[in-house]
Structures are given as C-alpha cells and as structure tokens.
A = this chain, B = another copy of it.
Amino acid sequence: MAHRPIPEPFQRDRHDHQECVSSAVEAAHELCVRRRIRLTELRRRVLELVWGGHAPIGAYDILDTLRGERRSAAPATVYRALDFLLENGLVHRIESLNAFVGCGAPRQAHSGQFLICRACDTVAEIDDGEIAGVLSRNAAKLGFRVDRQTVELTGLCPACADAAG
C-alpha cells in the first residue's frame, strides 16, 4: 500500500508533522504483521513519542510524558519498548546524545548515518551507500570486519547555516 513519503532531510519546514507520525506508525504496524511480532499499545505509544519531532528524544523525556498516561510507567517500561523498536529498526539511537530518533525507512535493514544540527536539534537520517562502502572497504584493508557503523555528523543544517551566515 502507498504511504506519503516522509519528507527528505532538511526539506521539513511547514510540513504536516502528524503525517510523519502516522506514516511511521503505519509502517511499523505493517512491519510487525509481516514479521509476526507484536506492536503493542505501549510500543506503539513509545514510537509515537519518539516521533514527536525530528529531534532526538531522551528515554526519560519519553517517560515523563508516559507517566501522565500510564501510572505504571517506569524506566524499564521505556527502555524495553525502545529495545524492541531498536531491534526491529523502527528507531535509532544517537550515541553522541544518548537519545533516540524515529527511523524514516524501516523497511530495509541499514545502519544509517545521521546529520545532527547543533542549532535546531533536527536530525536527518541518510542512508548513503557510498559512505557505508568506503567505511567497510577501508576497514577491510586493515583486516577489520565491520558489523555495525556509527556515523554521526554534527554541524549546521541548511537553514541554520544560512541564519549563521
């Protein structure tokens, strides 16, 4: 079935963000059906909260909101839901921020690279085969076999770079 595509990196001004959230939840739902795993109410809700914006959100920020809705919410509640979402590629962890962002393209397996604006906190995920290729290849030249790539580029997004001159 057809989804409206999630906006491309940094083309995000004045977009209907609710559309991002519902697309992400719908994609997650389909992925879970396909894999015969359960997108429970809790997991769906945590996914929505991660998709609250295009900025990374911390586990305890998620918890703060969740507590207003579910009196049993505790750190383990959130971390377990996040673990599930991470394992299934529905969210990514930004290591340099100890925070989480939604994955815009959960269909394909990928590690992804992240562009993190230090001014507006927006994170764009890219899945750049050239980058992944150079990393794997150059590691392999040293005899290193790469399992997982963590690539996080911090700087200024186009809008903030313009504003900063």
Chain A residues with CB under 8 Å of chain B are 9-10, 95-96, 113, 115, 117-118, 124, 126, 128, 130-131, 134-135, 138-139, 142-158, 161
Q: Which of B134, B138, B143, B152 contacts A161 (CB 8 A)?
A: B143
Contacts of A143 in B (CB 8 A): 10, 157-158, 161
Number of this chain's copies in the assembly equals: 2
- Taking a contact as CB atoms closer than 8 A, the residue among B124, B131, B135, B149 that contacts A142 in the complex is B124
A159 to chain B, nearest CB (A): 9
Whether the Cβ atoms of A153 and B146 lie closer than 8 Å is: yes
Across-interface contacts of A139 in B (CB, < 8 A): 115, 153, 155
13 further A-B contacts with Cβ under 8 Å, apart from A10-B144, A95-B96, A149-B154, are A9-B144, A95-B95, A115-B142, A124-B144, A131-B134, A134-B134, A143-B158, A144-B155, A144-B158, A148-B153, A149-B153, A150-B150, A150-B152
